[in-house]
Amino acid sequence: MKNVLPTIRSLVFAFSLGCMLAFTQILFKSTTVSDYLALNLLAILAGLFAVNCATLGLVLTRMSQIIDFERSADFSQAIASMKWSLLEQLSLIFVCVVFLIIRGSKVPFILENIHSIFFEALLYSIFSYGLLVAFDVGNSIFVILKYRRQP
């Protein structure tokens, strides 16, 4: 699985970004963005998933046309990456559902402040990772644009 290392790198980047945003939120004593994300994150991720599915459909249609025209064209690596990104997005939606259930739980936690900071960071991390996956899918368009017929 060649996709695992870039995925881990993206997860670490998204979590780092999430932590920075959570601490910035605490520094400025603002909850506007986290409140909005807590209410709308699932809808945002579902919307990104729908847009990415449509984009991948267009890209795969064009790849199919190129393969029909030129049998030697090989997009197997790009197609595998596209499948992986769909799996990432579905996993992210599942993690988001579990996270929102736990975040909204009324079960008392021992370390309330750490709980709050951790969940704010995780909220921003999920959003950031969703954007990274959307960016990755958007880059799949360039696979088609860069393609050149082999002589």
Domain count of the chain? 1
At 30, which helix (H) or strand (E)?
A: none
CB 129 within 8 A of CB 41: no
33 Cβ neighbours under 8 A, 6+ residues apart: 21, 25
What is the predicted pLDDT for the residue at 19? 94
End-to-end CA distance of the chain: 31
CB 121 within 8 A of CB 22: yes
* In a domain? residue 151: no
* In a domain? residue 109: yes
State the pTM of this model.
0.83
Distance, CA of 47 to chain centre = 12
Q: Which two three-digit tokens encode residue 47?
A: 């919307």
* In a domain? residue 49: yes
Handedness of CA 24, 99, 40, 86 (dihedral sign): positive
Q: Measured between alpha carbons, how far is 134 from 55 in angstroms, rounded to an integer?
A: 10
* In a domain? residue 37: yes
What is the predicted pLDDT for the residue at 64? 87
* In a domain? residue 84: yes
* In a domain? residue 99: yes
What is the predicted pLDDT for the residue at 106? 73
What is the predicted pLDDT for the residue at 146? 75
> At 22, phi and psi to the nearest 5?
-65, -45
* In a domain? residue 11: yes
Residue 79's domain spans which residues?
A: 4-146
* In a domain? residue 76: yes
**DSSP label of 110:** S
One pLDDT digit (tens) per residue for the chain, 151 residues:
566 788 889 999 999 999 999 999 999 999 999 899 989 999 999 999 999 999 999 888 888 888 888 877 788 888 888 888 899 999 999 999 988 888 777 766 655 555 678 888 999 999 999 999 988 888 877 777 777 665 5
Q: Name the amino acid, one letter, at 92.
A: L
What is the predicted pLDDT for the residue at 20? 95
Q: Which two three-digit tokens encode residue 61?
A: 């249609």
What is the predicted pLDDT for the residue at 94? 95
